[in-house]
Structure 1
Amino acid sequence: MSHGPRRRARLLPLAAGASLLLALTGCSGGLAGGGDEGGEDGPITLGMLAPFSGSESAFGAYMQNGAQLAIDELNADGGVLGRDLELVVEDDACDATTAVAGANKLVTDGVHASVGGYCSGATLPTLPIFDEAGIPMIIPAANSNELVQGLPGVFLINGTGTQQAAAAVQYAEKIGATTVAAIDDATSYSADLAASFVEQAGEAGLDVAFEATVTPGENDYSAVATQLASEQPDLVYWTGYYQEGGLIVRQATDAGYDGTFLVGDGSVDAKFAEIAGPGYTDNVVATFTQTPDMIEGADDWIASYTELAGEAPGPYSTQSYDAVRVVAQAIEDAGSTETDDVIAAIEALDGFDTFAGPLTFTDDHTLSGGGFVIVGIDPESGAFVLEDDLQG
């Protein structure tokens, strides 16, 4: 897959009245002064690898705009250590080879930290590249457990596959399911999530009717559709992406499966309903972290994002926004951009306010809570909307 064009994000002014979260965290002033102990000048550059081409390109735009919004707000407030922040993005196309090329370009560009990572399979091979270069990584979307390899500079601000699988099992139990199935597409993210779901479902006493792996990019999934119709598990968990997920739902329904389709966060996009077709998503729900429209008090943030991007925010825009803020706070706390100092400052964050709630990293650099909820599909728009917060 060819490498997309390098993009240097343009700084856009925002209207006054920044975001709800800036008010909560006191970014105003807290990140505005000080000096770099290394005596450096010029902008502090943050690199972002995300899909800007291919089937997942919509997510790249959401991530870039979320990160850019945070940068614009921080720069309007004086920057970090008296220096402006600048975002440099590279297309990884959710492809490992393209991602490696993009990571090497960002290293050559001299970025101080990475705030990207959507597809786990594309993010994984970039870990040693950034680690060797001494570039801390705050990963906003990719969440395979394989990403947590003990590298000192890798942090996840999306819930892990283990945490998402736990939410799936919790929902299965909540609706009274006794038999379940899991289908993955063999990618790192999907296989990891499916394996974790199967393990936790078994521990919870649920009967795992079958596990299946499909090949992404195909049009005919009749084999697995027929298996679903034959086995009729109460709930099936599809852990791949929306292109294949929409087809599997349609073909399995046509084959006679009438149980609950639960899909992972990689399938949460309005295109899922478009691919499945009208009348095929009534029994489809998903495990997901809350999007801005589901968060109480986020109206001002949504307005600022829409002004910047020209469209409403989508999935992983808030996580990317928070990834920038986490790095910025750590650099300010460290008083420099030195790798070890920044990593130590990230580890020391305690209750840092984010869209997902107060952030404190565990010893393995993951969130202490996954924050997953259940979302369903609005039959009018095809968009995923909050259905069950899994509380109580």
Structure 2
Amino acid sequence: MSSRRSASARLAATGALTLAFGLALSGCSGGLAGNGDDGGSEDGPIKIGMLAPFSGQEAAFGDYMKFGAQLAIDEVNGDGGIDGRDLELVTEDDGCDPTAAVAAANKLVTAGVKGSVGGYCSGATLPTIPVFTDAQVPMVIPAANSNQLVGQGAFMINGTGAQQAEAAVEYIQSVGAARVAVIDDNTDYSVDLADSVEEQAEGFEIAKRESVNPDEKDFSANVNSVLGADPDFIVWSGYYQAGGLLVNQLRGAGYDGPILVGDGSVDAQLAAIAGDESIKNVVGTFTKTPDMLEGGDAWIADYEEVSGGAAPGPYSIQTYEAVKTMAEAFTEAGGTEFEAVTTALDELEGFPLLTGDLTFADDGSREGGGFVIVEPTGDGGAFVLKDDLQG
């Protein structure tokens, strides 16, 4: 087994974040000094916290993640729990907003959670790391994947922005593109991914880098700027709401070449917003979804039983895997003590998950990343596997 950093080293890595966000934390009601149920009795359930967007533009992902987490918890509890203790899911809405996320994280700490398995928007997830670490709550992040999260003391189920960019660059090279325009939406996640694509570009030219305001509806100025650079390939690194409008407007302005979107736009809503004609020749980078996996149909059926019939969406399976990973760490640690659980997460090697065996690198990122190329050709514009990038 390869050597791993100690849990104390991971604590040290969060020092700068803790200092940077200290004032924000002290100003939140119901904070670390609050008198809530600590969930720490030896015979009660072990509470697992999950921050996700249940309101705002990304609200659909909250339920995708919640039901994925609940399915994993039901399975763990059905197998006897953690040394006879059930897991219990506690959710809070972060709205993909950094300030709301810090307040919500403090609520989970006050509620006595012993692990965090949430995090969708990177910009909202980053400031919660010192909240959880200061309270000695280990974090396994299922979705958020900005490079800024790497090495901060949390563990990431999703591949990093750099790993996603590597997959994007490999695909761009495979189709022989020469002039690539890269467009971001000014959010932390989107800028990080766009920067990574630029940094890794090889064999093609970055003809244009453009940023849009995701709250706008009319991107005509951005579209004209991008198309003025005469690209033969466009990368969109933002979320699907603005992405759908942008794709539609690029097509309306006469661009019919390939468009690659990042994982924040890999959702059937992209097609719904862009329209059936505009979505043609669009692909995305994403980690594997249930329909791409052996045994995926059975997992989908189990998920739909928990969700009341709703189909899984992006990050349902990653949140499921975050819970399974945390449960394994509790089991290996023999309890929920922070240093022991963090050490157990550090030392996981080849832990079998549906999306592939899991080993964490020393910085908490997932070794390998696991990104593939998907396209919105499934039912209702759902993204399905196009290229597994295995040659």
TM range (shorter): 0.7 to 0.9
Work out whether 1:315 is the aligned partner of 2:317: no
What secondary structure sits across from 2:231 in the alignment? coil
Match in the other structure for 1:224: 222
Letter in 1 for 2:241: Q
Match in the other structure for 2:186: 186
Q: Distance in 2 between matches of 1:120 and 1:178?
A: 31
Match in the other structure for 1:266: 264
Match in the other structure for 2:16: none
What do you get for the CA RMSD once the two structures are aligned?
1.3
* 1:380 shift after superposition: 5.7
Match in the other structure for 1:58: 60
Q: Is the 8 A contact 2:283 2:375 kept in 1?
A: yes
Letter in 2 for 1:338: E
Letter in 2 for 1:344: T
- Structure 1: state its 5+ residue gaps: 1-37
Q: Residue 305 of structure 1 is aligned with which of 281, 303, 306?
A: 303
Letter in 2 for 1:55: Q
Q: Is the 8 A contact 1:319 1:355 kept in 2?
A: no
Q: Residue 211 of structure 1 is aligned with which of 196, 209, 212?
A: 209
Q: Distance in 2 between matches of 1:144 and 1:355?
A: 23
Match in the other structure for 1:287: 285
Letter in 1 for 2:140: I
* 1:272 shift after superposition: 0.7
Work out whether 1:108 is the aligned partner of 2:110: yes
Match in the other structure for 1:46: 48
Match in the other structure for 1:361: 360
Work out whether 1:331 is the aligned partner of 2:333: no
Letter in 2 for 1:289: T
Q: Distance in 2 between matches of 1:223 and 1:359?
A: 44
Work out whether 1:125 is the aligned partner of 2:123: no
What secondary structure sits across from 1:386 in the alignment? strand
Q: Residue 146 of structure 1 is aligned with which of 145, 148, 159?
A: 148
Cα deviation digits, residues 313-344 of structure 1 (max 9, x gap):
11111111111111111111111211000000
Aligned residues: 351
Q: Is the 8 A contact 1:232 1:259 kept in 2?
A: no
* 1:115 shift after superposition: 0.2
Q: Is the 8 A contact 1:249 1:280 kept in 2?
A: yes
Q: Is the 8 A contact 2:378 2:384 kept in 1?
A: no
Alignment of 1:349-388 (within 5 A): 349-378=348-377, 381-388=380-387
* 1:208 shift after superposition: 0.5
| 1:347 to 1:183, Cα distance in 2 relative to 1, 3 A | same
**TM score, norm. by length of structure 2:** 0.88
Cα deviation digits, residues 59-110 of structure 1 (max 9, x gap):
1101110110011111111110210100000001111111111000001011
* 1:367 shift after superposition: 0.9
Q: Is the 8 A contact 1:157 1:366 kept in 2?
A: yes
| Range with greater deviation from structure 2 (116-125 or 254-263) | 254-263
* 1:248 shift after superposition: 0.9
- Structure 2: state its 5+ residue gaps: 1-39
Q: What is the aligned-residue identity percentage?
A: 61
Match in the other structure for 1:233: 231
**TM score, norm. by length of structure 1:** 0.87
What secondary structure sits across from 1:354 in the alignment? coil
Q: Is the 8 A contact 2:173 2:203 kept in 1?
A: no
